[in-house]
Chains A and B, each alone.
Chain A
Amino acid sequence: MKLLAALLLILAFTGVAWGADTSASFSRGRYLTRVGDCRACHTEPGRAAFSGGRPIETPFGVIYTPNITPDAQTGIGKWTFADFYRAMHNGIDDDGDYLYPAFPFPSYTNLTRQDVKAIWDYLRSVEPVHRKNRPNTLRWPYSMRSAMRVWRALYFDPHTFKPDPNASPMLNRGAYLVRGLAHCGACHSPRNGWGAVRQEYALAGGTVPIDGWYAPNITPNPSTGIGGWSAQALSNFLSTGRSERGAALGPMRDVVQSSLQYLTDSDLAAIVAYVQSLPAQGPTLKVAHTAPAATPNHQIPGAALYHKHCSGCHGDDGHAKHDYYPDLRNNSIVLAANPTNLVLMILQGGFEAATDAHPYPYSMPPFGFKLSDKEVAKIANFVRRNWDRRLVPQIAPQQVEPLR
């Protein structure tokens, strides 16, 4: 018995060391799976990780993500690595059926075989969950997978990322992550009528198929993109969901929480450097500043509503008394040419990202059921035009209603 206890003690320690040793490739796979954010789409909230069933509402109907746990009957337990690589690289499943591009294989095709193998090894290690896949409810003709043949001929080119010999290793790493595993363009690039990313406008902004959130231009356009962001602000935003230029909202908050907060410092720096190096997309809006306020603040339309509902946290001048509430001045979400995210935030409220850096986030109340469309538009216009005095487009109450 004593021997057993001693042996256990030794094993308990060596076991940990051994675990750390052989888990190098395992933790690399886990890291890459996080950067790819596989779990976010392949998990229905409240259900077992990677067991699928999360509805993705596309313009063509609803796609339910499949179970990718190693369960033999309902997951990918019977798949081989060759099957998995074909799915990731070519967008074709183990039966030879074409996958829909809601699964971002047009981005994942960039991945090296070695990285796909590490992800595969990690996914083989997760708890197998017996859960049947739910059939998609796509409308005809999109329900015919064979139609994907045409789509693929037009819009898909299987290829592995080729580093640019003229760019630094850091920029190449950033490009590999942004265009490949992190699949930023799946949301931040506009799509055409057939759901294909318009490569000529890569990362110029797009609509996310979740409640209509807008994924803004992340090229260095000074007025609609990240042109005015410092590297530090971008890095804070991606790793904690908070920055002096605004907080991560909606689906981006979830991406920060489940994926980007885990980026290594070097991968984070590479992503920031890469997006800052991109050619600016989209028209540069004239950021005309109006003359300083001739009328006192409280006479501007929306001022009374702002002071009633918002200033308690955000301050009379949009600058919060405490640094835990976002500054509304020079805030990218407030000043965005596309006002969708500002309106959605006022309507829905919510908590900021819960990350290791900020595990207990602050929150904003939902105002959707308290305020009319007109009141929401008034407040939004007040915060957009009052302090920064920029001529950003006015928001009409008619733009609020569809976002409810």
Chain B
Amino acid sequence: MISSRSIRSLRRILPGILIVAATAFAIPAFAGPANPPPDHHGMKIRLAACATCHGKRGQGGAGTTAGVYPRLADQPAGYLYKQLLRFKSARRTGIPPVKIMHHLLINLPAPYLQLIAAYYAAESPPFPPAAPRDQARWEEGRKLVQHGVPSEGIEACTSCHGSDLQGQPPSVPALAGQYARYLTIQFEHWAQGARHDPLHEHIAETLTTPQIQAMSHYLASLRPAANSTRKAE
């Protein structure tokens, strides 16, 4: 005899079983030998549209508008993927180059966006030489980044982005060595509502422009330590 309780639990898990069964049948259609995902080199050729601003290896900072385009290399893949989804849905907007992202990504399915994220996460091109240091600004930036502004409820950047500011997988980005101009523009975007995140919106609305520029100046000057282990995590 099957108890009514068994039937109830059966009903509860049946959809799950059907999904699993359906997935098992569906997998060959997507992962069959006809269309294996491209290897790293194959991705590089496919991403010509990205390379024009972010560089072939995701080093960013291209052309006459140096520093507007972020470094994508070494970022956690989860962070890059999340941002690609936000550009695609136009949830993340901003200055005109950001709007181009929406156009470029609009027809790409999630598995391909994941491959794009993985491509740049796996790259690690050399950093450009750091800009000349403005000692007073650098020191102001260092204090803000390392200690936050407790009286305003602003935590130190290091508390989430890692003590070495190289990000935390899966989805907290690296800040060390990112372009100063890019970082400053992001706070403008949070202030304008072009990017959405209550924590960073609060920072953008509380700190002055010179304070934000000082933090960006400090963060851009950092270089990852040679023995960094973040990528292995």
Contact = CB atoms under 8 A, between A and B. Distances in A.
Interface string B121-151: 0000000000000000000000000000000
Interface in A158-185: none
Contacts of B42: 360
Interface of B is mostly: helix
A369 B10 contact: no
A201 B88 CA distance: 36
B66 interface: no
Interface residues on B, range: 35 or more
A356 B10 contact: no
A180 to B, nearest CB: 25
A126 interface: no
B106 to A, nearest CB: 6
Interface stretch (A1-9, A57-65, A107-115, A394-402): A1-9
A369 B108 contact: no
B115 A360 contact: yes
Interface string B40-72: 001101111111110000000001000000000
B46 A16 contact: no
A324 B38 CA distance: 13
Contact of B17 (A4, A11, A349, A366): A11
Interface in A222-259: 253-254, 257
Contact of A365 (B2, B29, B48, B107): B48
Interface string A1-45: 001100110011101100100000000000000000000000001
A313 interface: yes
A365 B10 contact: no
A363 interface: yes
Interface residues of A, number: 39
B103 A11 contact: no
A260 to B, nearest CB: 13
A362 B6 contact: no
A366 B49 contact: yes
A209 interface: no
B2 A46 contact: no
Nearest to B105: A351
B18 A46 contact: no
Contact of A16 (B18, B35, B48, B96): B18
Interface in A363-401: 363-366, 368-370
Contacts of B105: 351
Interface of B: 2, 6, 9-10, 13-14, 17-18, 20-22, 25, 29-30, 35, 37-38, 42-43, 45-53, 63, 85, 88-91, 96-97, 100, 103-109, 111-112, 115
Given A353-B107, A370-B52, A370-B63, 18 more contacts: A7-B2, A8-B13, A15-B21, A16-B22, A47-B89, A348-B103, A349-B104, A350-B103, A354-B107, A354-B108, A358-B35, A360-B35, A360-B46, A361-B112, A362-B48, A364-B49, A366-B49, A366-B52
Interface of A: 3-4, 7-8, 11-13, 15-16, 19, 45-47, 253-254, 257, 313, 322, 324, 348-351, 353-354, 356-366, 368-370
12 contacts: A8-B17, A15-B21, A16-B21, A16-B22, A46-B85, A254-B106, A257-B107, A351-B107, A353-B107, A362-B46, A366-B49, A370-B52
